[in-house]
Amino acid sequence: MTKHQLIGAEVSLYTGKLRCYLQYKNIPFDEVVASGEVYRDTIIPRTGVRYIPVLITDDDQALQDTTEIIDYLERRYVEAPVYPSTPFQKLIALLLEVYGDEWLVIPAMHYRWNIEENKDFAVAEFGRTSVPDASAEEQLIVGKKMSGPFAGSLPVLGVSDTNTKAIETSYLGLLKELDRHFKATPFLMGTRPCIGDFGLIGPLYAHLYRDPYSGRLMQEQAPNVVAWVNRMINPDPLTGDFLPDDQVPETLMPVLQRMFREQGPVIRSTLDRVAEWASVNADGKAEQEISRAIGSHTFTVEGAEAERLVFPYCQWMWQRPYDCYQGMNEENRTTVERRLAVLPGALELLRHPVTQRVVRKNNRLLLG
């Protein structure tokens, strides 16, 4: 029997997300380490980009981007869907995927590359992954070279000397909120993981649990989050249910309030900047590519202001919960809006028009 191939690495945030999904769904796969040779011979020629994970399907399609891969597999493997069918649960699950995928990369990257113990561990991991058959000395040299662009991306994400303490304060607050939630509920929405769980597991496992310093921090500060991580990486496949009657636990409200307080203004700014970029740069051609970053904007975490690049991909992810909300019938929308009232800024952002869509095609981001 031909299996899917997951090409990735233990050190990779998004590989962790996809691996957990494949294991929970009981989808047969073999894992292939994304060595330098695999990048050269498979990843780059098959996808046109240098990102992992990549899924080579059992019918030899090469798929890149965890969200698109999960959606493809959900259509094929319909048992125990990870998208709730009820409107409020589905919206919240999509929002938390955006939060995990696009915002928790900030503390994940800070703790990995600004904490010396974590940095040394990650560099060694990069070396072992890139040249698995080389000596330890050679792996260290390669690891430093391969990890350089990742360590150098901190300013791009908005991590600077002026806000690292604020990032840590926010992250510790999030751990406390999640710990309270997972003490009462095994996953975000009940006894089955949803797409939001898979969005959160990437940063919370691959960086913040596996890296030694931040792993100890999680053990000390949030044992119930550690227990959730272990449920995610060692799942009981295809088991569990979402809560009945479209319930979303109250314990998730502080997490969502944090999301809209910190990430919400960045999402809104991104929508506006994408529209501005298109108005200046669109030339009327079909399938016009948009740059990976289009300028910079300021953001605030725990009172500390910093600057980061504007990423149109963030809008592509945001369009998922936005479309979920906009597509609701009147009855469902009225109910959902009433329940969102406890989240300052949520309704304003979900109502903010997306005037310039972005789409993904052949692993490129295009104006829609």
Q: Are residues 288 and 306 in the same domain?
A: yes
Q: b/e map of 192-213 (b: 16 or more CB within 10 Å)? A: bbbbbbbbbbbbbbbbbbbbeb
Q: Are residues 225 and 117 in the same domain?
A: yes
Q: Are residues 197 and 169 in the same domain?
A: yes
Out of 44, 76, 108, a domain closes at 76
Q: State how far the Cα of 28 lies from the Cα of 34, in Å rounded to an integer.
A: 19
Domain of residue 93 covers 87-259
Residue 82 counted as domain residue: no
Closest Cα partner for 121 from 198, 207, 50, 53? 207
Out of 76, 100, 115, a domain closes at 76
Residue 158 counted as domain residue: yes
Residue 308 counted as domain residue: yes
- Tokens 């998208």 belong to 83
Q: Are residues 269 and 252 in the same domain?
A: no
Q: Are residues 133 and 278 in the same domain?
A: no
Residues 54, 63 contacting (CB under 8 angstroms): yes
Joined together, the tokens standing for residue 356 give: 């310039």
Query: H or E element: which one contains 90?
Result: helix 87-102
How long a stretch of residues is the chain?
368
Q: Are residues 267 and 240 in the same domain?
A: no
pLDDT of residue 146: 82
Task: Mark the ranges of the chain whose per-residue pLDDT is less than 70.
Answer: 1, 284, 286
CATH number at residue 242: 1.20.1050.10
Q: How far is CA 287 from the centre of its chain?
A: 26
Q: Are residues 37 and 51 in the same domain?
A: yes
Question: Which pLDDT tens digit goes with each residue over 306-354?
Answer: 999 999 999 999 999 999 999 999 999 999 999 999 999 999 999 999 9
Q: Are residues 177 and 96 in the same domain?
A: yes
Q: What is the pTM of this model?
A: 0.96
pLDDT of residue 1: 64
Closest Cα partner for 194 from 77, 82, 89? 82
Measured CA to CA in angstroms, residue 313 lies from 49, 127, 243, 274 at distances of 15, 29, 31, 10
Q: State how far the Cα of 90 lies from the Cα of 77, in Å rounded to an integer.
A: 18
Provide the number of structural domains found in the chain. 3
Q: Are residues 254 and 270 in the same domain?
A: no
Residue 81 counted as domain residue: no
Measured CA to CA in angstroms, residue 278 lies from 70, 108, 158, 349, 361 at distances of 29, 31, 24, 20, 18
Q: Are residues 254 and 280 in the same domain?
A: no
Question: Which pLDDT tens digit goes with each residue over 101-151?
Answer: 999 999 999 999 999 999 999 998 888 888 888 888 888 888 888 888 888
Q: Are residues 102 and 209 in the same domain?
A: yes
CATH number at residue 30: 3.40.30.10
Residue 18 counted as domain residue: yes
Out of 50, 76, 102, a domain closes at 76
